Structure 1
Amino acid sequence: QKRWTDLNLDYSIGSVHTTTGLSQNPEYCCIDGPEDELKWLLDEIHEGSWEKLSEAYYTRICELVELGGFDFLGHFDLLKKRNRDNACFSEEAPWYHRHVLTALDALDGSGIIMEVNSGAISRGALDVVYPSPWILAEALKRDIPVMVNADAHRPEDIDCNYDESCALLRETGYREIWALVDEKWQAVQL
């Protein structure tokens, strides 16, 4: 954790991209990488089970939150990137809800801000932000603070879906977001 403060960064993002360590996954195959990497993680590490992959992913989220040392948690439900139209699993599955809610409970009270991320929209992978609206509603019940971010990989995407993300948060019941203002994270009215 100290190594990040020594770098004098404006902010740091904690995020999970895989479910394994390098000993199991020497090629560092990612959930959001090419489809063959996800297939390898799913088949070779998680026995072809989306439920097992989900449990491992959200367990990693819990471990990351416990470790701390970062300002906000990026793309909370990145697992849905390849799940357009529920092609791989249903977000309504009881096991999926259980995994998500466990991770939200870990985030609750941590002081870590949850990112509302439109990166998958700007890159054409999804039509919705991370996290899904039902997850935002559950986060609000736990008073988990949020911020809006484009996860832009190109300058022209820096404000992708910003107004729509703020509108979604207002519809969900959020009244403020967190933003970096004058070099300090502060709550800002929506």
Structure 2
Amino acid sequence: MKQNLHTHCQFCDGKDTVEELVRTALDKGFDSLGFSSHGYAHPLDACSLDDEREAAYIYSVLEARARYGDRLKIWLGIEEDLTGRIYADPAFDYVIASVHFIPVPDGQWKAVDYSPELTREMIQTDFQGDFLAYARAYYNELKKIAHRPEADIVGHLDLLMKYNEGEALHPFDDPAYLDLAMEAIDELIAADKIFEINTGAMSRGYRSEPYPQALLLKYIQTHGGKICITSDCHARDNLDCGFDIARNRAKAAGFDQVMVLTEQGFVPDSLWD
């Protein structure tokens, strides 16, 4: 099955309309498409849905489902930020839970993924150059997803490494860093969450490989975790960006299947078909 469940449109920070994305999915041979606009997380995330745009978003996706449902399965989802609203509404078919903001020592909340400059400044100024303190703050937030029963998918597991291409911030294989990430992974696996292999940073030129990094992906596999493949699409041309790379990464890590959303809920789909 060709499916993407992490898709942003013009109702949040995506570039395209629901209609444009649906037509692109049809052109690219998708079996199903899930929309996942950023749920209400004001004032930290000005691009996230407010009440008016949330209502319009739901209407637009459901209207597209009514018009295109005989050609493409369309799912209504939401990307829930840990700092924002909890989306347990049965109107949503699934929930992606993500950490975009972390608390810094002075009590403020700051974004980990706005720009390389702001991320470096936060590490140097707020965490006194201690990358592990920065990573600890991030993974402590990520663990909270384990206690969100509405959350189906963990969004971009190691988003804090978005700007770490060429290990510009910190070595990926530092044992102390890996311990922090793996501790969070253990809790999320125990809560039966699905981890996405997310190619979003690849399409925007920040990373040459998907989230999560290969060592963490292998750890998920060896500890019985489940995965799905998403593009975190913000522009329709990237709807299936890096899917072949993601599938090959999953196979290399030892996975035989990925989870896909169906009328029966999330079910496994073979990587080898």
TM-score by length of 1: 0.90
Distance 1:5 1:67 in 2: 9
Aligned to 2:221: 140
Identity %: 24
Aligned to 1:109: 190
Tell whether the 8 Å contact from 1:29 to 1:40 is kept in structure 2 after alignment: no
Relative to structure 1, the CA distance from residue 183 to residue 123 in structure 2 (aligned partners, 3 Å threshold; closer, same or farther) is farther
Deviation at residue 183 of structure 1 after TM alignment:
6.4
Relative to structure 1, the CA distance from residue 68 to residue 182 in structure 2 (aligned partners, 3 Å threshold; closer, same or farther) is closer
Q: Establish whether residue 164 from structure 1 lines up as the match of residue 245 from structure 2.
A: yes
Task: Decide which of 155, 174, 179 is 2:255's aligned counterpart.
Answer: 174
Aligned to 1:24: 107
Q: Establish whether residue 131 from structure 1 lines up as the match of residue 224 from structure 2.
A: no
Q: Pick the structure with more strand per residue.
A: 2
Q: Establish whether residue 150 from structure 1 lines up as the match of residue 231 from structure 2.
A: yes
Q: Establish whether residue 185 from structure 1 lines up as the match of residue 235 from structure 2.
A: no
Distance 1:35 1:118 in 2: 18
Q: Pick the structure with more helix per residue.
A: 1
Tell whether the 8 Å contact from 1:29 to 1:37 is kept in structure 2 after alignment: no
Aligned to 2:94: 11
The code of the aligned residue for 2:93 comes to D
The SS at the match of 1:82 is coil
Aligned to 2:3: none
Deviation at residue 64 of structure 1 after TM alignment:
2.3
Tell whether the 8 Å contact from 1:15 to 1:75 is kept in structure 2 after alignment: yes
Moved over 4 A (4+): none
Aligned to 1:49: 130
Gaps of 5+ in 2: 1-79
Distance 1:3 1:120 in 2: 25
TM-score by length of 2: 0.64
RMSD: 2.0
Instruction: Give deviations 1:43-91, integer Å, cap 9, x for gaps.
Output: 3432221110011111111122223421100100111111111111111
Deviation at residue 42 of structure 1 after TM alignment:
1.6
Distance 2:237 2:129 in 1: 38
The SS at the match of 1:168 is helix
The SS at the match of 1:105 is helix
Q: Establish whether residue 58 from structure 1 lines up as the match of residue 139 from structure 2.
A: yes
